[in-house]
Amino acid sequence: LMRTPKPTGSATVPSAVQRAFEIEDLINEKVHLRTLDDGNIADGEEVPGAGDSDVEVLDGPPTKKKAPPASGGSVLRGIREQVPSTGAPNAAARGATRRAQASDFMSAVSASLNPALREARDDTRFARRLAQDDLHHLTQENRDLRTRNESL
């Protein structure tokens, strides 16, 4: 078996497999799937027709800032909380090029996978957990001592 030559000749494809290949090709044509070959784009080479698109990105209408009401009374100020991002691109992200977005994404991924940064996050998480445990222990001890004082 070790020195058996490779089988040569023309292989026959069963008719069911051939039909499956044809059906797959028809499905791919219908949903406009094709093999993605964007190696040239990743290498920075210009691909002819890459900028041609029927889709045009338009910025929304500019928002108008309202003037603060002119009142002679006291000024009421509130605290603005940070709203978590919903993934909607802001104006700065829309203006960025694909290459800059890809670079930012890759730097974020590499930063999250960096062992030194991961260890620092783990140390911070451990210190925070230790402080929470200490606070919980002291709160419980305080509660026990108050109960003891009240019983005396």
What 3 state SS string does 62-106 have?
CCCCCCCCCCCCCCCCCCCCCCCCCCCCCHHHHHCCHHHHHHHHH
> How many contiguous H segments (helices) and E segments (strands) does the chain have?
5, 0
pLDDT reported for residue 142: 95
pLDDT reported for residue 114: 85
59 with 91: CB under 8 angstroms? yes
Q: What sign does the CA torsion over 114, 117, 125, 108 have? A: negative
From first to last of its 152 residues, the chain has per-residue pLDDT tens of 567 777 677 778 889 999 999 998 888 888 876 666 666 666 666 555 555 556 565 666 556 655 555 555 555 555 566 655 555 555 555 556 888 888 889 888 888 888 888 888 899 999 999 999 999 999 999 999 999 999 88
pLDDT reported for residue 125: 93
pLDDT reported for residue 113: 85
Residue in the block written with tokens 């058996």: 4
